[in-house]
A and B are shown apart, each in its own frame.
Chain A
Amino acid sequence: MVSATLGSQTPGKVYPDLPDQSPLGAPLDWAWLRGTRSEWGIHPKPSARGLTMMDIAVGSYAEVPEHPPHRSMAPRGADVDDSTADMGYILNWKTDMWSANVTELYEEAVARQWSATRDIPWGELHELPSDVEHAMCQLCTLLTEVEMIAADLPAKWMWRMNHDFIEAKMFLCTQIMDEARHAEVFRKRALANGGGLLLSRSGPTSLLRTIIEAKTYTQASALMHLLGEGFVLDIFRMGELIAPTDVEKRIFRMCMQDEARHVAYGTMHLRYAVDHDPDVAEEIHAALDHGEQVLIDFGTAPDVSTALALLLAGGADQVEEKGFPLATELTKKQLTSYLARCERAGVGRLERTTIPLDTLGIDVEQIRAAGGGQVAAR
């Protein structure tokens, strides 16, 4: 027989009658009952919406180390045995993937999940003019193609992230689910109204390859969250504007909510990284130098620009008079939003970008002001 003591909850309590062998004769270990170095008895209280990840971030469980001592899948806060296996993580610094808002964004993502099957009023689709249906199907073809990059990319890196940064990994899991749903909803829309999937050419590929082949996660995050998803967020906003029926309105609004969360994570991840490791800024700039070029190639690819212009015009008849001028105006807003987010992320691009700011009439001072916002890093 061995005796066991129950940690700090009832210090000194002894269980003298515990067996030291199982009924089959195997040795038993009661170390978990004898008391560990983990914090015991913290009693987190649920908030109005339930027990959130923020609610349980108390005591030592709220402490996210800058550089965890272990590289195992042990949950942060557990009493980790020194013999626990090394999982081979390569992203072992908090600056590698953390963002100050990541826990809140995880809860937001979980709370705001939706179903492409159930939450879109598919029954309200009605026949559209052929040119408009073709343009919508072309846009959906493109979006079905590009959305999964934002699932593949975190999947590529997550298994290399130290498990102590569990909140960041959990958030990236929600992003993967979001992107699966986006691919689903655009595929469904392409097929649901009598059209189908249309043309896929090499235009988007260089952007997608640039993202997936980024050398570091932070570069990948800059390319995907800040640049790519920021750009797609504005395409979703345009999609809502040009939606021919309430069905597409709803699709684009739901997708833009998800996409904006991803952008919010990426912006604040870069901010966290740059604030804690200023040397990383150059690494991000180098990625964006190239990324902006391939993004412009992507944005001006014929299948993207023509489909959007036709939808903005409401049909083929006014594509030159209305469609392209409105597209140009919205591109200006798109780039303004992107450059403002760069300022906020601590990687101001105004002195470095090759985007023709003057030609596009982009207000540089408005963008510069965006860098003033501060979020306390934690």
Chain B
Amino acid sequence: MSRVIADGLSEAGANFPAMPQVGGDPIVESGSNADGEFTKWADGTICMASNASGNSFNTSGRISGSGMLPSPVINTADARIFGELDSFELSEKVTLIRMPLSGTTTFALRIYSATGSFVAGDENDTLINVFIFARWK
């Protein structure tokens, strides 16, 4: 079993002088976990990269799913999410992709087609690479 106690851990590898700054303020925090990567800036901005996939579909032309943020945001209304659909396998043309935040650590995924109905299996071909701008304070 691997065991890591964080007390006394050094910031090994961090090279603060070489890191980008905003108005002279350095990056406050950065890292990655099972849900993606994040960088917190001193002015309250947080930038995150994550991904999501669909897990269900309906015959009205909608695929639904959800994703997790690697770090929480404080105000869901301030968040801006951009996504790149990494798939050529869907049976219908995609008309609209929505990824509204559904909480401070979660976002919903909605993929719509106005041209017809998705079919079973389409939901498994919907990997979306997500980039999030939001506020952490």
Genuine A/B complex: no
Question: Which residues of A are interface residues toward B (Cβ below 8 A)?
Answer: none
Question: Which residues of B are interface residues toward A (Cβ below 8 A)?
Answer: none
